[in-house]
Structure 1
């Protein structure tokens, strides 16, 4: 099938599986494709693009400016503090804030560009040693400091499910993240947490059923 057909099928799945499909956004993960193919994605109506490497992102950002097509860039990978400066002027959302020091750097660089950057807090919900992300208790300890930062907007949470878990365990994790969002909205965030970035090509249907507002899809679009 073509890219546009794959995107259309994912759009139908959003309507089928999500209790609130109007709140769901598809992020096309473009790390393995060039700008010519990305142009095809944008022309199919999927305008949110996700990258996980700063050097690749900045190159594609510059290349896409020539196409004059509506798009937004979301950074979805592990972000090193010393790389924030390269994307701070244009990034639309960072999905992977996993420590206070990174949040401080994003805040600093956003201030330099006189803008606020939307961010998601990455939670290592499944507590895998080989995965990035806040351990939940550490995030709770950092909340008072994070709330002081004026040049970032904390919009919600992101998590990644393990590939070797069964569907029931994945569902339990996604459900837990949604419940954490609801709980922390009451305790700390005054209902400003609206986003849940969870679900990829292999598990996005489960994520949709459990309230995902961003699904990050690569293989399913480009296969």
Structure 2
């Protein structure tokens, strides 16, 4: 085991312990929570090390980084379950779709239609299985954040309901950056209530700074980068 593998493994162990504690506080089972390790700016070596430490679900937020990294990883015989967690422009769908197992940033019917079109053309890894998608919701109402407004979610869900290759499994949000994670608890709670109002169980919410609060409020996926992989590399 290399030093960096040990570091990632040790960090993952600490994260899992904190997740277990958060689940216990909320009366939840740890099996309900999936960690998505965000490898943004980290090389394929980090992907290999994460897999060696048992972390299969990995995320990227830029198409121009995901595609070459996924291809390099595949060339090394590595098979992570890739999640795309960043804003996705329609002209990047063709580049991203062949690699991902989950999309966390569906924010419009037009984007869903582009995914549907590309999947019909055989761009999807498995054309017989719809792509699990989380609708990104700008719960905090921040002008700098992407995502649909809460009031638009119902219309978006109706717009994608008949698509063969897009399956909405939940909602996603990026909480505002604050000094105290307790300040964003209402954001996570609102997303949970919105998801349940639409009959959705999946909740992609919580990052390094606030994932424990997110889990207490029902997160089923947490997107963690720095707490697992250390500082971003330039």
The aligned runs of 1:40-51 (5 Å cut-off) are 40-51=49-60
1:77 correspondence with 2:86: yes
Do residues 16 (structure 1) and 30 (structure 2) align? no
Give the drift of 1:64.
0.7
Count of aligned pairs: 216
**Aligned 8 A contact 1:110 1:152 in 2:** no
Q: Secondary structure at 1:212's aligned position in 2?
A: coil
- Residue ranges of structure 2 left out of the alignment (5+ in a row): 1-5
1:136 aligns with 2:141: no
CA contact (8 A) 2:178 2:184 kept: no
Report the alpha carbon displacement of residue 147 of structure 1 after superposing the two structures with TM: 0.9
Task: Confirm or deny: 8 A CA contact 1:54 1:87 kept in the other structure.
Answer: yes
The match for 2:171 is: 157
Q: C-alpha displacement at 1:123, in angstroms?
A: 0.4
How far apart are the structure 1 equivalents of 2:211 and 2:58?
Answer: 17
Greater shift after overlay, 41-50 or 161-170? 161-170
TM-score, with length taken from structure 1: 0.92
Residue 220 of structure 1 is aligned with which of 211, 224, 227? 227
* Range that drifts further, 92-101 or 133-142: 133-142
- Bigger mean CA offset, 109-118 vs 77-86: 109-118
Cα RMSD for the two superposed structures: 1.5
Quote the residue 2:11 is aligned against: 6
Whether the 8 Å CA contact 1:199–1:207 is kept in 2: the answer is yes
Whether 1:123 and 2:137 are equivalent positions in the alignment is yes
Structure 1 outlier segments of 4+, above 4 Å? none
Partner of 1:109: 118
- Report how far residue 166 of structure 1 moved: 4.1
Greater shift after overlay, 196-205 or 88-97? 88-97
TM-score (norm 2): 0.88
Where in structure 1 are there 5+ consecutive unaligned residues?
A: 186-192
Q: 2:91, 2:228 → 1: CA distance?
A: 32
Task: Tell me which residue corresponds to 2:97.
Answer: 88
Aligned residues of 1:110 and 1:117 also touching (Cα < 8 A): no
Matches within 5 A, 1:56-67: 56-67=65-76
For residue 139 of structure 1, report the CA deviation from its aligned partner.
2.0
Partner of 1:32: 41
Determine which of 171, 174, 177 is the counterpart of 2:188: 174
Deviation at 1:168, TM superposition (A): 3.4
- Cα 1:57/1:124, change in 2 over 3 Å: same
